[in-house]
Structure 1
Amino acid sequence: MDKSAIRHAATTILHREIEGVPHILMGQRGAKAAFMPSKFVFPGGAVDESDFDIPLLHPIASPCLERLATDASPELAQALLIAAVRELWEEAGLILGEQAEWGAPPPLDWVKFAERGFIPSATGFTFVFRAITPPRRPRRFDARFFLVDASNVSGDPDDFSAASDELSHLHWIAIDRARELDLPFITEVVLAEVAQILRTGTPPKSVPFFKNDDEQNLFLRLNS
């Protein structure tokens, strides 16, 4: 695979209130990671080919689907949400799914998820941001960020025992203290958008898009 190619990616921003204060889930990437080493990030990663073949128990709800459709085929839109569910499971050990039987044996990445008796669910997903990694980076991604209330998690949102070792220091942090962590620039930008959404209780009318290419950096809006 061409490591310089831009890959589609999905990120899950879980949020919940703890003692009346909005918190978000973050973890720290490894010091030797090729992409954003040692930075605190939300769980997320690249879309895999197998993500296009995984079922969703229910169709993607509005307005999430319409907003994704501004620049994604229906197949890609579903794969993005599947990737978001998978990455949250792999990196945090948390399940966004509903109890149901798989119609066919799951791919290797989904075996342990399926063994818990769940099929992925995109219930409660809000598409809140899109960003393309700047040029001349070791990895480049076209990432969509999804905001999800932790009430949609099946099980204990504090139980990270099934997580891989890709993220360390997984924890819930008050959103107004998150900037005290060592964050990538784009995560700081997304945090500002998420803080506004949680403060008002209303998603913006259009999705922010931070587009980087060889000529310029553009901050656009995706109109559904």
Structure 2
Amino acid sequence: MTIDKTQIRNASTVIVIRDRFESPRILMGQRGSKAVFMPNKFVFPGGAVDKDDADIALASPLPEMCRDRLAEDADPTLAHALAVAGIRELWEETGLILGQKGDWQGTPHDDWASFAERGYVPDASALQFVFRALTPPGRPRRFDARFFLVDADHIATDLDDFDAACDELSHLQWVALSDARSFDMPFITEVVLAEVEARAKDLAPPASVPFFKNNDEESLFLRLRGRPMTD
């Protein structure tokens, strides 16, 4: 049996949902044609956890239930960095701020300088941990990705202003949840969409979170319930 030696990086993705009770829409963008990972695909904002993410102070932490689910089958100290990474990636790729007005503790890291200049501190209290997926073996890059859902009402800035976004995602747009599957997207994004549709009108964090676990031996579809997993 060949063992995949590709490094698995922790990653965070944020799904922003708008008008969830009337005509729900989600924010998506298209990856570049030259991207190593999922070129040309429409995806949610997200990316790998950086080493500095664990050091960033939050105005408010993740809900306790989300922290419990994130700690299952994972390093329990990682939850904070995952939340920070998701908020950072949302800012970098869309220019939208999930935060509260406030002053930073010390000098912000380079990735956060422009965020801090606008007078905000990242806030994770509205994030709902809704899905986890491990990239299958054999891919050029592998991620242990956690997907967070957040209501657009918690975004502090103009929902239609993407001027501060970097160029990693193009064609940023609010996509009707009912039309999203017509876009060219990765398989796992389609799976996550089904979970988002099921939770579109639920404002509380889920008590049970799906985990699509692809390792070198098998693919498992598990449920994270906040309890230690046994071998």
Same fold by TM (over 0.5)? yes
Matches within 5 A, 1:42-121: 42-121=44-123
User: Aligned partners of 1:21, 1:71: CA distance in 2, in Å?
Assistant: 36
1:77 deviation in Å? 0.3
What SS is found at the alignment partner of 1:90? helix
Q: Deviations over 1:12-69 (max 9, x none)?
A: 0000117920100000000000000000000000000010110011232232112112
Is the Cα–Cα contact under 8 Å of residues 14 and 25 in structure 1 kept in the other structure? yes
1:10 deviation in Å? 0.2
What SS is found at the alignment partner of 1:20? coil
Is the Cα–Cα contact under 8 Å of residues 128 and 204 in structure 2 kept in the other structure? no
Compared CA separation, residues 77 and 23, structure 1 to 2 (3 A): same
Aligned residues: 222
Compared CA separation, residues 65 and 204, structure 1 to 2 (3 A): closer
Query: What amino acid is aligned across from residue 207 of structure 1 in structure 2?
Result: V
- Select between 207-216 and 64-73 the one with higher mean Cα deviation: 64-73
- Select between 211-220 and 174-183 the one with higher mean Cα deviation: 211-220
Counterpart pick for 1:29 among 31, 39, 43: 31
What SS is found at the alignment partner of 2:64? coil
1:70 deviation in Å? 1.5
Q: Deviations over 1:163-185 (max 9, x none)?
A: 00000000001111000000100
Query: What amino acid is aligned across from residue 208 of structure 2 in structure 1?
Result: S
Is the Cα–Cα contact under 8 Å of residues 123 and 152 in structure 1 kept in the other structure? no
Structure 1 runs, 4 residues or longer, greater than 2 Å off: 71-75, 199-205
Is the Cα–Cα contact under 8 Å of residues 72 and 224 in structure 2 kept in the other structure? yes
Matches within 5 A, 1:1-224: 4-17=6-19, 20-199=22-201, 204-224=206-226
Query: What amino acid is aligned across from residue 95 of structure 1 in structure 2?
Result: I
User: Aligned partners of 1:222, 1:36: CA distance in 2, in Å?
Assistant: 26
Unmatched 5+ residue regions in structure 1?
Answer: none
User: Aligned partners of 2:15, 2:32: CA distance in 1, in Å?
Assistant: 19
User: Aligned partners of 1:69, 1:18: CA distance in 2, in Å?
Assistant: 28
What SS is found at the alignment partner of 1:21? coil
User: Aligned partners of 1:86, 1:59: CA distance in 2, in Å?
Assistant: 15
1:199 deviation in Å? 4.6
